[in-house]
């Protein structure tokens, strides 16, 4: 029997993990089609905490557990909550154990890329659409047929319409990201991991990345197309402590948060499946990347155990209910975390 030809759309954390676990189990005919032109085409931002039992298990299935542990920041598990007006610590969770150490997304992606057989990723080869049966049309108009197409192409998946008509909608919550390098005042407030502060519908969330780099997020309810300037943000946070307002200063990167409708599910479709954000985009409450990794490893292991057709069925029978349960927590969780702002008098 010839080895199945498997196409994976998207070289994000999910797609690369799926390719790696398949290759580890002897599947040689696996290609990852990535829209971006090279591994460095876009800065791979942010830090990801890999959870014991999901993300960490996937890294173990990929045979990369020791390499991941060598890069993981265990001190990143520290959580600090500070008062918005005084910047004083009001709640503190010290970094303990190894339930959810942090790693830069770029480091994890590179680890996965380096683990693949040369030529596995076809860079600059975006997928335009997929069809039941495993047909793929590329953005350049070419077409090809595969035994399986795995949509790991994120929030705005081009593979998803082959199994489901669902499209993401705006949650009503806007994150505005700023970045800070080696700023001692902000590092002291952030601690080893994450700092949060909130007051009357405004939230500030800061995370230490490797190299004393910080990514901070102002989180608020807003209309989808509002792109506040630094001055507008500072005005909104006018009654916050000056050290906390300093996190808002920098080039603002606007991230309106989208989610797929809940429950998002589909009937098993020959030749096509989804994983990660393509399957279950949800607000970033710390599980999205973990689920993408877990989906990816489980799909690959199910294919190795049962073959493509039964493997996909077995994977979806576990993944879909798990994803629905997480979405049902994450969607209201986001709105609780970032409530409406009281009207100003």
Residue numbers at the binding site for ligand FAD (CB under 6 A): 9-15, 33-36, 46, 48-49, 126-127, 152-154, 158, 175, 255, 276-278, 284, 286-290, 292
- CB closer to ligand FAD, 129 vs 234: 129
Nearer to ligand FAD, 132 or 307 (CB): 132
Nearest distance from C-beta of residue 100 to ligand FAD, angstroms:
9
As measured in angstroms, the least distance from the Cβ of 16 to ligand FAD is 8
SS3 sequence of the chain: CCCCCEEEECCCHHHHHHHHHHHHCCCCCEEEEECCCCCCCCCCCCEEECCCCCHHHHHHHCCCHHHHHHHCEHHHHCEEEECCCCCCEEEEECCCCCCCCEEEHHHHHHHHHHHCCCCCEEECCCEEEEECCCEEEECCCCEEECCEEEECCCCCCCCHHHCCCCCCEEEEEEEEEEEEECCHHHHHHHCCCEEEEEECCEEEEEEEEHHHEEEEEEEEECCCCCCCCHHHHHHHCCCCCHHHHHHHCCCCEEEEEEECCCCCCCCCECCEEECCHHHHCCCCCCCHHHHHHHHHHHHHHHHHHHCHHHHHHHHHHHHHHHHHHHHHHHHHHHHHHCCCCCCCC
Closest approach of ligand FAD to the CB of residue 154, in Å: 3
Given the complex with ligand FAD, which of 137 and 268 has the nearer CB atom?
A: 137
User: Residue 179 Cβ, how far from ligand FAD at the closest point, in Å?
Assistant: 12
Q: In the complex with ligand FAD, which residue's Cβ is closer, 81 or 241?
A: 81
Residue 2 CB, shortest distance to ligand FAD, in Å, is 25
Closer residue to ligand FAD (CB): 241 or 322:
322
Closer to ligand FAD by CB, 275 or 310: give it.
Answer: 275
Closest CB 184 distance from ligand FAD, rounded Å: 24
């Amino acid at each position: 029997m010839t080895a199945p030809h498997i196409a994976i759309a998207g070289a994000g954390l999910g797609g690369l993990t799926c390719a790696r676990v398949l290759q580890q189990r002897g599947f040689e005919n696996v290609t990852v089609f990535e829209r971006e032109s090279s591994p460095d085409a876009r800065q791979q931002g942010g830090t990801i905490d890999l959870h014991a039992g999901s993300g960490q298990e996937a890294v173990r299935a990929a045979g990369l557990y020791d390499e991941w542990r060598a890069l993981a920041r265990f001190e990143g598990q520290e959580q600090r909550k500070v008062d918005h007006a005084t910047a004083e610590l009001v709640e503190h969770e010290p970094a303990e154990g190894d339930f959810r150490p942090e790693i830069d997304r770029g480091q994890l992606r590179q680890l996965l890329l380096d683990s693949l057989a040369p030529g596995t990723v076809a860079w600059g080869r975006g997928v335009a659409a997929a069809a039941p049966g495993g047909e793929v049309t590329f953005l350049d108009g070419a077409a090809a047929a595969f035994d399986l197409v795995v949509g790991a192409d994120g929030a705005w998946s081009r593979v998803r319409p082959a199994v489901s008509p669902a499209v993401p909608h705006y949650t009503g919550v806007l994150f505005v990201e700023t970045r800070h390098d080696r700023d001692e005042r902000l590092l002291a407030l952030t601690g080893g991991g994450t700092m949060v502060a909130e007051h009357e519908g405004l939230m500030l969330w800061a995370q230490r990345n490797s190299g004393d780099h910080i990514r901070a997020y102002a989180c608020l309810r807003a209309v989808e197309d509002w792109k506040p300037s630094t001055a507008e943000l500072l005005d909104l946070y006018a009654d916050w402590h000056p050290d906390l307002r300093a996190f808002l200063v920098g080039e603002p990167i606007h991230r309106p948060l989208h989610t797929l409708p809940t429950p998002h599910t589909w009937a098993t479709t020959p030749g096509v499946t989804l994983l990660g954000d393509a399957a279950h985009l949800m607000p970033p409450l710390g599980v999205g990347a973990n689920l993408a990794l877990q989906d990816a490893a489980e799909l690959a292991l199910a294919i190795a155990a049962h073959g493509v057709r039964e493997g996909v069925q077995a994977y979806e029978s576990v993944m879909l209910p798990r994803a629905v349960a997480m979405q049902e927590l994450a969607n209201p969780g986001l709105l609780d975390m970032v409530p409406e702002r009281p009207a100003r008098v």
